Homo-oligomer: A and B are copies of this chain.
Amino acid sequence: MLSMLIAGLLSASPDAPADTRVWPATLAEVIAATSEGDWRRPDPQHLLYLDLASGERVVIELAPQFAPEHVANIQTLARSGFYDELPIVRSQDNYVVQWGDPDGKRDQGEAAATLAAEFSRSSKDAPVFTQLTDGDVYAPEVGFVDGYPSARDPASNELWLAHCYGMVGVGRDEAIDSGNGSELYVITGHAPRHLDRNVTLVGRVLQGMEALSSLPRGSGAMGFYEDGQSRPLIRQLRLTADVPEAERIDLQVLRTDGDAFDAVIKARRHRREPWFHTPTGKVELCNVPLPVRIVD
């Protein structure tokens, strides 16, 4: 938390040198023009490796700045091996993939059984909110916080994560405090923004989405796999901090509080690639790419 505060102070400092770089027009050119300082390495304590039995790996970044209690519980569950060899129980077309303990019989160790909802947080003392000025159907203000698509209500000072493609949330029953992170879902379709502030979002997939989004759809109601359909298996789900260094992927994420990301937004708002005939001049929250790269 201390380092977050210091970073916030630094970026707001009037003494910080102005970024005078001139950015090119297309996304590919913007990415090519970035320098090392435009990127950050996620904290391995807040990074999950979801390894599927198929051999594919999905990397998820957790958002303790939005859902500290849920993130802590997921860390506890991951450390105890709770998720290992659990099935993916649901794949609903244009909606979500979800995994969990279908019988609810697995020992959850030290983890809390239920948690108070963390649907939103205060926008006061929050990390930098890079506002998108293009408008939004669902929220008064939208933008990006630490790489997460987010929404904000200046009337209530609420700040919350938005259900864009690749966001990770906590399954719950009807009671709003009935989730604890033992059931997680990932958005695999058009952003179901009506779920915003109805579920606790805990992070987003940084890499490997296609391993989840291309899973066969479940034939049951809400995309649950039915008897006779084989459920894809999770081999293990670990915190990156618990993975030997040699097995880690050196992932970097473009900072969303800097000039490089502003250039990304502009490149997507006005598409300058010669293929485009009628640039829209607008970009919607969930259509802004959140660049991730692997350093060899």
Contacts and interface: CB of A to CB of B under 8 A. Distances in A.
Contacts of A280: 138, 193-194, 196
A195 B283 CA distance: 11
Contacts of A166: 94
Contacts of A197: 277-278
Contact of A284 (B137, B198, B268, B279): B137
A48 interface: no
Given A190-B191, A198-B277, A277-B198, A93 B213 contact: yes
A174 B275 contact: yes
A134 interface: yes
Interface string A107-119: 0000000000101
Contact of A282 (B119, B137, B214): B137
A104 interface: no
A193 B271 CA distance: 12
A211 to B, nearest CB: 9
Interface in A77-136: 91, 93-94, 117, 119, 134-136
B165 A190 contact: yes
A215 B215 CA distance: 8
A119 B276 CA distance: 12
Q: Is the interface of A mostly helix, strand, loop or mixed?
A: loop
Nearest to A273: B174
Nearest to A120: B278
Interface residues of A, number: 45
Given A119-B277, A213-B93, A190 B138 contact: no
A176 interface: yes
Interface in A164-179: 164-166, 174, 176
Nearest to A284: B137
Contacts of A24: none
A189 interface: yes
Interface string A208-220: 0110011111000
Contact of A189 (B165, B196, B284): B165
Contacts of A268: 194
A189 B284 CA distance: 14
22 contacts: A93-B210, A93-B213, A93-B214, A94-B166, A134-B137, A138-B282, A138-B284, A164-B190, A165-B189, A174-B275, A190-B190, A190-B191, A193-B284, A193-B287, A194-B279, A194-B280, A196-B278, A196-B280, A197-B277, A198-B277, A198-B278, A213-B213
Q: Please list the 5 inter-chain residue pairs (A to B) with the smallest Cβ-Cβ separation, ordered nearest first.
A: A210-B217, A137-B284, A197-B278, A93-B210, A165-B190
